[in-house]
Chains A and B, each alone.
Chain A
Amino acid sequence: MDNDNRRASRRTEVLSNHLLPRPHTTTAHLSPSNCLSYAPPELSSSNPVSFDTYVMRSLLDGHNLDDRDWLFGLIVQSPLFNRQERGGRVFVSVDYNHTMEQQREETMRRIGYLLDRGVFRGWLTGDGPQEELRKLALHEVISMYDHSLAVKIGVHIFLWGGAVKFLGTKRHHDKWLRATENYELKGCFAMTELGHGSNVRGVETVTTYDSRSGEFVINTPCESAQKYWIGGAANHATHTIVFSQLYINGGNQGVHAFICPIRDSSGNVCPNIRIAECGHKIGLNGVDNGRIWFDNVRIPRENLLNSVADVSPRGEYLSSIKNVDQRFAAFLAPLTSGRVTIASSAVYISKIGLSIAIRYALTRRAFSMTPNGPEVLLLDYPSHQQRLLPLLAKIYAMSFAGLELKMLYVNRTPESNKAIHIVSSAYKATFTWNNMRTLQECREACGGQGVKSENRIGPFKGEFDVHSTFEGDNNVLMQQISKALLGEYIVCQTKKKPFRGLGLEHMNNPAPVLPSQLTSSILRSSEFQLDLFHLRERDLLGRFAAEVSQYQAQGESKESAFNLSYQVAEDLGRAFSERAILKTFIEVESKVPAGSLKDVLGLLRSLYALISVDEDAAFLRYGYLSTENAAAVRKEVLKLCTELRPHALALVSSFGIPDAFLSPIAFDWVGSNAWPSAQH
């Protein structure tokens, strides 16, 4: 009876517990002390900070730190940027539940806010390195918030505005530059066609001149000539730059650029223009990519961007540059700035990925070494170190190299244009490929948490994938480097003059001799590392030249000889980029006063050099290293990772990325996933 009573009352309790929602309290036998709790990595003695992270950040960012922080602040403080509070901390990122159309409207609203705050001031009307650096810095910050926002702005200002500025003359500047900066119109850039992308010279759009009316007539002669992927065209743009073949009196003068209105101020598509959507994409859905067809569209003669060539009212073709190749190269100038910004934004995105993955690896534990022992922090596993820390070293190296490229770009002269073209091609390809690899590794290193959109790394993979093909396909760019290097090589050989520029001066010296036994201290010396990289570049350049000339001797054309030698060309492109990056790193390091910061940089530089060697089969394939020495390099990588492990936190803190940009798993992921935060 007593027993029955007890059972009955227990049953009643269970039922009432189900029926009456109770305030969620932890019961005594579920004491929170058994739960995993989050400990900020800053509090752990295994993450000492041995150098001033702000000084390190100054080395990495290199310029306009205050402007960057101002813009970070503008973004974090505005409700337009989708602030979310998680675990008592504010995070910003786009709303991942938005449809494509909503994303596009959000992007425009954000542009309006930034415009209103003076962010774009001087982006086109300003001149000189200081103005350009400010613009680059702010654009980098924008891309760290949202790639769509950065690209939408980049198309309008760098591509449309840049084309008007670099390809146009005073009459265009007066009319369009300030108006563009103030968004009185919205520009886009119609270069790519369905049938032609990287090969711009092949575009099929046709423009003729009608001397009776003084107008150009633009036509899309066939479906493959439709303009494709035109960012801004689908919804918002009012004007475009059209790249088109220009025919004068039946003769083709090559590709030229024209300004053409495509919508009126109320957003209606202009007569004789047809516009369609490109559809949903793997990323960048906040950018309205569209397709454009031109049906006998008439534009005034003055709309030809005429810095390179002009057409007189009577229809005569006038150009100061007689060589068609050179004329074409001049038309592509606006794309260089695109490659510079893409290269550096790829580095900043990798920094976000690494900051998140490394902070998570410093707080997340998995598996115990001993029964009942504490679980081990992810970053204390040598395997996890070797997944993330070499990527960290690469990002340090690429930061410095990207900064040097920016400096080269903003201080450009006619003489440095060729070097900028080559270096920007090399870095754009190298950094964007590296970014994709880094993001994938970081996503995996965060386990399931990496799959959540709010933790940013996953969506970044889709968002930034396009980097590897836009503004020049990476593979094409890498082949261009080898071609350009070969050009230098042939000139120096035939004219018997020494190499100058592009860092090729080492070719004038005798080939470096490497020690046969590689000790740890040799492997870590910058002289040895540079010798090894020089040896590879020099040998590959020689091989490439020999192979191309051998094919030519067999009767192949020059073009076909290049194509047949693409394997060596690929190796050479990589050798050039990695050597240039290493050299910059060594220069940065040499300017830092002795101390803990310099020591850490030394570890990073060695890890960068040795992981690059470890990952490139060319060192073994062509015998620059013996198998024993290649094994020694690999062992040293592991040792360097162990030595860098205590600095990992300080090294990602030095990126200077505000917490709000780093996503919940970079901080208290227990708190941000706790029940109360699910109640909002």
Chain B
Amino acid sequence: MAFNPKPDDDQVLVEKKSCARVIILNRTRQLNALSFYMVSRLLEIFLEDEGNPDIMLVIMKGNGRAFCAGGDVSAVVRDVKGGDWRLGAKFFENEFKLNYLMATYSKPQVSILNGIVMGGGAGASIHGRFRVATEKTVFAMPETELGLFPDVGSTYFLSRLPGFFGEYVGLTGARLDGAEMLTCGLATHFVPSSKLSLLEESLYKVESNDATTVSAIIDKYSEQPSLKENSVYHRMDAINRCFSRNTVEEILYYLEMEAMNNKADNWASTTIQTLKKASPTSLKVFLKLIRKARLQGIGQCLITDYRVVCHVLQGHYSKDFFEGCRAILMDKDRKPKWEPSRLELVNDRHVDCYFAKLDDEGWKDLELPERLNNLPPYVTSKL
């Protein structure tokens, strides 16, 4: 391998252990947030490995206390502020292509989620075949608080969680632990972090890309964790009652009813507070996205995500994303000024705008990497 002294080079460490490709996210100071370089490099690795008969499975993990805290959106915002939103769009284009590749990959991907998994980090793991959570895992889709929306095709897996848990997780950005991830299906296994190195050793020895074989190996180290007593998962009934509603306003209304009927418990009122802090546009756009996603395949979800994200970057309808990044990531005053500022000011027509093709010269819908006989995205949902 040539030693090209690129500064980004060590952000992704790539190793090969027998038949296993091991990919380590290594940008620890930024909690392994995905940079443009990382996304492009991962895409390259996944494309190359698919045709490589020596590689049976892919193991992904992160160095430090995070698996991956998301996409590096501050860099994107810098690019867009530099004058060209298309540069930002390029980041998402590659990231979404990577997500699609992972979701349709022919070799099992085992992601070891020993720490923070958020936003883009979820996109780089949940689409893969196996997700191993530990007692250190913290999962969240916190985008609505940033004025963005849970993207990376997450509406695909969130909409398929039990009941209306996906709506809850995506709208509120709720933190989940490893046990909760396993219970709701975001994780496929729970392995205590002390056993991870043994697990990895065993995985290196695997000689087939058969998913059941891989699963049996992880099973050997798995445990059945119990949910914490105050786990939100015990509130599934209330979540279903409130988050099955047709509009964000109704969801809030039913949360308020919930808070009134159950004053001893502050879950509903905290949830209301969280929703009130998020960007009203983000909430409405996300609700529409996840409702559409129930009936769509992963390809279509990503194409829609890409359209919406391009509108967000282009900033014609709202600049909430830039405002959110300013308030949360840059100035850190945590007081974003959303525009429109209230839910009732965001009407359906406003939301629909985000789903239309962009009227911008040369802009094209996301072109998914060629897979499975080059399927048109609008039929993949039936597969």
Contacts and interface: CB of A to CB of B under 8 A. Distances in A.
B382 interface: yes
A49 B381 CA distance: 13
Interface in A608-655: 649-650, 653
A77 B383 contact: no
Contacts of B245: 117-118
Nearest to A45: B373
A667 B159 CA distance: 21
B295 interface: yes
Given A69-B291, A72-B295, A658-B294, A118 B382 contact: no
A267 interface: no
Given A43-B373, A77-B162, A70 B246 contact: yes
Given A66-B288, A74-B244, A116-B241, A653 B294 contact: no
B136 interface: no
B379 A78 contact: no
Interface in A661-680: 667
Contact of A42 (B241, B246, B291, B375): B375
B346 to A, nearest CB: 15
A42 B240 CA distance: 34
A442 B288 CA distance: 35
20 contacts: A43-B372, A43-B375, A45-B373, A54-B378, A67-B246, A69-B295, A73-B294, A77-B162, A77-B163, A77-B164, A77-B240, A77-B244, A78-B163, A116-B241, A118-B245, A118-B246, A650-B379, A653-B378, A658-B294, A659-B382
B380 interface: yes
A76 interface: yes
B44 interface: no
A42 B378 contact: no
Contacts of B246: 67, 70, 118
Interface string A43-69: 101000100111000000000001101
Contact of A73 (B241, B291, B373): B291
A154 interface: no
B15 interface: no
Interface residues on B, range: 20 to 34
Nearest to B297: A42
B295 to A, nearest CB: 5
Given A74-B244, A77-B164, A42 B380 contact: yes
Given A70-B291, A76-B294, A49 B163 contact: no
B244 A653 contact: no
Contacts of B164: 77
Contacts of A76: 294
Contacts of B379: 42, 49, 53, 649-650, 653
Given A42-B379, A43-B375, A77-B164, 4 more contacts: A69-B292, A118-B245, A656-B295, A667-B382
A642 B376 CA distance: 23
A165 B380 CA distance: 45
A49 B295 CA distance: 18
Interface string B89-119: 0000000000000000000000000000000
Q: Which 9 A-B pairs have the closest CB atoms?
A: A49-B376, A73-B294, A42-B379, A117-B244, A43-B373, A53-B378, A40-B383, A77-B163, A658-B295
Interface string B234-251: 000000110011100010
B241 A653 contact: no
A667 B382 CA distance: 8
Interface in B114-169: 159, 162-164
Chain A contact residues, majority secondary structure: helix
**Most chain A beta-carbon contacts within 10 A, residue among B162, B382, B383:** B382
Contacts of A69: 291-292, 294-295
B80 to A, nearest CB: 30
Given A43-B375, A53-B378, A77-B164, A66 B291 contact: yes
A73 B161 CA distance: 12
Contacts of A658: 294-295
Contact of B382 (A42, A67, A70, A77): A42
A53 B381 CA distance: 12
Contacts of A43: 372-373, 375, 383
Interface of A: 40, 42-43, 45, 49, 52-54, 66-67, 69-70, 72-74, 76-78, 116-118, 649-650, 653, 656, 658-659, 667
Nearest to A41: B382
Interface in B153-197: 159, 162-164
B251 to A, nearest CB: 11
A529 B113 CA distance: 64
Nearest to A90: B160
Contacts, number: 61
**Most chain A beta-carbon contacts within 10 A, residue among B162, B244, B380, B383:** B244
Contacts of B383: 40, 42-43
Contacts of B378: 49, 52-54, 653
Contacts of A54: 378
B52 to A, nearest CB: 24
**Most chain A beta-carbon contacts within 10 A, residue among B245, B295, B373, B381:** B295
Contacts of A116: 241
Nearest to A73: B294
Nearest to B241: A116
A624 to B, nearest CB: 42
Nearest to B379: A42
Nearest to A77: B163
Interface in B291-310: 291-292, 294-295
B188 to A, nearest CB: 14
Contacts of B381: 659
A361 to B, nearest CB: 15
Contacts of B288: 66
A66 B352 CA distance: 11
Contacts of A52: 378
Nearest to B246: A70
A668 to B, nearest CB: 10
A671 to B, nearest CB: 13
**Most chain A beta-carbon contacts within 10 A, residue among B373, B376, B381:** B376
B122 to A, nearest CB: 21
Contacts of A67: 246
A549 to B, nearest CB: 56
**Most chain B beta-carbon contacts within 10 A, residue among A40, A52, A116, A656:** A40
Interface in B67-90: none
Contacts of A73: 159, 244, 291, 294
Contacts of B380: 42
Contacts of B159: 73
Contacts of A74: 244
Contacts of B241: 116
A49 B241 CA distance: 39
**Most chain B beta-carbon contacts within 10 A, residue among A70, A78, A649, A667:** A70
Contacts of A42: 375, 379-380, 382-383
Contacts of B163: 77-78
B210 to A, nearest CB: 13
A658 B381 CA distance: 9
**Most chain B beta-carbon contacts within 10 A, residue among A43, A45, A77:** A77
Contacts of A649: 379
Nearest to B163: A77
A658 B292 CA distance: 11
Interface in B344-383: 372-373, 375-376, 378-383
A653 B376 CA distance: 13
A656 B295 CA distance: 8
B250 A118 contact: yes
**Most chain A beta-carbon contacts within 10 A, residue among B162, B240, B241:** B240
Contacts of A117: 244-245
Contacts of A667: 382
A43 B244 CA distance: 34
Contacts of B250: 118
Contacts of B240: 77-78
A74 B243 CA distance: 10
A74 B250 CA distance: 15
